[in-house]
Amino acid sequence: MLNNLKRKRLQMSNLDFFFQTLNLKNGHSDGFKFVGNSIYAQNKIATMGKKRYASIGADCSFDMFEYPMSSNQNNEIFVFEHEIKGIAFNMIFCMSGTFTAGYNGYPDNPLHEEKITHPFLLGETEITQELYHIVMNDKPSNSENAENPVERVSWYDAIQFCNTLSSLYGLNAYYKIGDAKPFRDVFDDIEYHYPISINQYANGFRLPTKEEWEYAARTKMQNIWSGTNNHKEVTDYVWYFDNAKYEYWDRFSLRNKTDVKTQIVKQKKPNAWGFYDMSGNVWEWCWDMEKSEKKEKWWGKRLSYGGAYNSRIEECNTFVPLAHTPDTRQHNIGFRVARFL
């Protein structure tokens, strides 16, 4: 189902590390077939045994693009090219490591060290409307355009999308979704929530943790915005209120008016690890619950990061999340997917 391997440049030490990483336990590498077009890659795959990576319903390959990378990535990016029912999407390999999270002067997320213990894949872009429609047979977005990020999806919707996409690829579902349970909200109205548990050894698609999201957005640097720390460069990387505007004809006032909306993905520059729109366009759901919520309150508020097309530029930072109940659907919240190898 997926495209053949292409390589722009190959360093032997990087490929050695990459194949070593694929030997993770718990079957995270199962379901993928890697094909190389260099003699070294072909020999390496043959040595490791092609049968170990026999495809179960889908082939997977990766592409190496050159970007100005941080030292932990050795100036290269592994991009896994996916295709489902004719719609392509990419995921980028992130190796394990430590980084400085948070921001000096922000009390809810001060500077602190975080450790990413397992390598993972993360979506190059937010999930687009066309991909969401192909997988879920639904078009929930307020601002309809196939290549724009999907929005008006709840945290529960994102969880269900991950499981459905996993099923289409023959992967093990990462989430177990329980039956809906009724609760009374602050207005004494009945709302329904679903208990969600995880299978930590599953190889299926999932939402990133807040640590993974910040790791990929900041690329081990302390950038305020994903891709830059320079206010003068912000418009090169971020869709936000000042540059996501469009004109339309208002039939009531009989004149042109200006509004803001989501934008096509991959129009701005990527950050140093190749991720697009991690600041701006739409807020992105993560797995984690707001700190103030009690652990036993599993239906508590969930976090989203990155700001949106209608946000002030200060809100499009890489360290301050929003928190919403998991059934919230808004025109400025979407998501991107992750998975373990």
Which pLDDT score, from 0 to 100, does residue 233 have?
A: 95
Query: What span, in angstroms and rounded, lies between the C-alpha atoms of 222 and 99?
Result: 9
Tokens 């896994």 found at: 80
Which pLDDT score, from 0 to 100, does residue 295 have?
A: 55
Query: What span, in angstroms and rounded, lies between the C-alpha atoms of 192 and 209?
Result: 24
User: What DSSP designation does 208 have?
Assistant: P
Which pLDDT score, from 0 to 100, does residue 185 have?
A: 63
Query: What span, in angstroms and rounded, lies between the C-alpha atoms of 329 and 37?
Result: 45
Which pLDDT score, from 0 to 100, does residue 320 have?
A: 93
- CA atoms lying within 13 Å on the CB side of residue 259: 8
Mean pLDDT of 188-194: 73
Instruction: Please indicate, yes or no, if residue 1 is contained in any of the structural domains.
Output: no
In whole numbers, what is the pLDDT of the chain averaged over residues? 77
Q: Count the domains in the chain.
A: 1
- Is 315 within 8 Å of 238 (Cβ atoms)? no
Amino acid, res. 322:
L
Tokens 């009390």 found at: 107
| DSSP-derived 3-state class of residue 162 | helix
Q: pLDDT for 216-273, tens place per residue? A: 999 988 899 999 999 999 999 999 999 987 665 556 665 665 668 999 999 999 999 9
**Sign of torsion, CA 114 115 118 124?**
positive
Place 298 in a pLDDT band, splitting at 50, 70 and 90.
Answer: low
Q: pLDDT for 48-63, tens place per residue? A: 433 333 332 233 343 3
Find the distance separating the first CA and the last CA of the chain, reported in whole Å: 18
Mean pLDDT of 292-300: 61
Q: pLDDT for 122-154, tens place per residue? A: 999 999 999 999 999 999 999 889 999 999 999
Instruction: Please indicate, yes or no, if residue 114 is contained in any of the structural domains.
Output: yes
- pTM given for the model: 0.79
Q: Count each helix (H run) and each strand (E run) in the chain, helices first.
A: 6, 18
- Worst-scoring range by mean pLDDT, 105-114, 184-193, 233-242? 184-193
Instruction: Please indicate, yes or no, if residue 25 is contained in any of the structural domains.
Output: yes
Mean pLDDT of 195-200: 90
Query: What span, in angstroms and rounded, lies between the C-alpha atoms of 2 and 86?
Result: 10
- Is 326 within 8 Å of 154 (Cβ atoms)? yes
pLDDT at 290 over 90: no
Domain ranges, residue 332: 6-248+256-340
- Is 32 within 8 Å of 170 (Cβ atoms)? no
Furthest-apart CA pair in the chain: how many Å? 71
Q: pLDDT for 12-60, tens place per residue? A: 334 444 554 444 333 333 333 333 334 444 444 444 433 333 332 233 3
Would you state the torsion angle of the CA atoms of residues 287, 291, 295, 300, taken in this order, to the nearest 10 degrees? -60
Instruction: Please indicate, yes or no, if residue 288 is contained in any of the structural domains.
Output: yes
Place 4 in a pLDDT band, splitting at 50, 70 and 90.
Answer: very low
Place 307 in a pLDDT band, splitting at 50, 70 and 90.
Answer: very high
CATH number assigned to the domain comprising residue 32? 3.90.1580.10
| DSSP-derived 3-state class of residue 260 | strand
Which pLDDT score, from 0 to 100, does residue 17 have?
A: 47
The percentage of the chain sitting over the pLDDT mark of 90, rounded to a whole number, equals 51
The percentage of the chain sitting over the pLDDT mark of 70, rounded to a whole number, equals 69
Instruction: Please indicate, yes or no, if residue 331 is contained in any of the structural domains.
Output: yes
> 114: Cβ–Cβ under 8 A, 6 or more apart, which residues?
98, 99, 100, 101, 211, 214, 215
